[in-house]
Amino acid sequence: MASNVLGEPLQCCCSKPATGFYRDGFCHTGPEDRGLHTVCAVMTAEFLQFTRARGNDLSTPVPAYRFPGLNPGDRWCLCISRWAEALAARVAPPVILKSTHLAALEFVSLEDLQAHAAE
C-alpha cells in the first residue's frame, strides 16, 4: 500500500472527476508516470491560469482522455514539477497532505507542503 507524505496510508484525492495518473482517484505513481502526478491539490483560479500560460490547460475538457476540465475548488493530482514551479512563482495551490504521495518529498520539502496544506 502506498504512503502519503505524513507516513500514513495514501488517501483518495478525488473520484469525481477521477484523478491520478491511473485515473483511480489516488495520486499513485509508478514507472509509467514520467510526470510524477503525486501532489493532491485544490485548484485555484490563479493556479489554473498559471498552468495554462505554461502550456498545460487544465480548464478545458478533453473528452478523448476522459478529462472534464477543472474548476477552482476541484481536487487533482498534479505533477510534482508543476507544483514546485508554481511554488517558486508564489501561486502554488493548496495541498491535501493525506492524499499526496510520499514520492513528492523527493522534490519538495514537507515544510513547503505543510505551509500550503488545505486541511
CA distance 98 to 9: 8
- Give the pLDDT confidence of 68-85 residue by residue, as tens digits: 899 999 999 999 999 999
Task: Decide which of 1.20.1530.20, 3.30.56.110, 3.40.50.720, 1.20.1070.10 is the CATH code for 1-119.
Answer: 3.30.56.110
The partner residues of 39 in beta bridges, in order of sequence, read 78
- The pLDDT profile of the chain, 119 residues, written as one tens digit per residue, is 899 999 999 999 998 888 999 999 999 999 999 999 999 999 999 999 999 999 999 999 998 877 889 999 999 999 999 999 999 999 999 999 999 999 999 999 999 999 999 96
- Give the DSSP letter of residue 16: T
